[in-house]
Structure 1
Amino acid sequence: MEELCPRFEKAMGLLSTRWVGLILFDLLKGTKRFSQMEADLPISGRLLSDRLKLLEKEGIVARNIYSEFPVRIEYSLSDKGRALEPVIKEIQSWADVHVPAEQDDEQKV
Structure 2
Amino acid sequence: MQDDFPALTLEIMDLVGDKWTLLLVYTLGEGAMRFSELKRRASPISQKMLTQTLRGLERHGMVDRSVLPTAPPQVEYALTGLGRTFLSAASVICQWTKDNLEELQAARTHFDSARLAA
How high is the TM-score relative to the length of structure 2? Answer: 0.73
Structure 1 segments, 4+ long, off by >4 Å, are 1-5, 104-109
CA RMSD in angstroms comes to 2.7
The C-alpha deviation readout for 1:31-50, integer Å capped at 9, x for no partner, is 00000011111111111011
5+ residue gaps, structure 2, are 114-118
Once the two structures are aligned, what percentage of the paired residues are identical? 28
Q: How many residues align?
A: 108
* Contact residue 39 and residue 45 of structure 2 kept, 8 A: yes
Q: Relative to structure 1, is the Cα distance of residues 46 and 33 closer, same or farther in structure 2, using a 3 angstrom cutoff? A: same
- Range that drifts further, 21-30 or 90-99: 90-99
Q: In proportion to residue count, which structure has more helix?
A: 2
Aligned equivalents of 1:10, 1:107: Cα separation in 2: 33
Alpha-carbon distance, 1:99 to partner? 7.2
Larger radius of gyration: 2
Q: Which residue of 1 aligns with 2:20?
A: 19
Aligned equivalents of 2:58, 2:2: Cα separation in 1: 32
Q: Which residue of 1 aligns with 2:116?
A: none
Aligned equivalents of 1:60, 1:89: Cα separation in 2: 15
* 1:77 maps to 2:79: yes
* Contact residue 62 and residue 80 of structure 2 kept, 8 A: yes
Does 1 or 2 have the higher relative contact order (CA < 8 Å, sep 6+)?
Answer: 2
How high is the TM-score relative to the length of structure 1? Answer: 0.78
* 1:100 maps to 2:113: no
The C-alpha deviation readout for 1:53-88, integer Å capped at 9, x for no partner, is 111011100001112101121000000000112212
1:51 to 53, 73, 83: 53
Aligned equivalents of 1:61, 1:106: Cα separation in 2: 34
Give the secondary structure class of the aligned counterpart of 2:103: coil
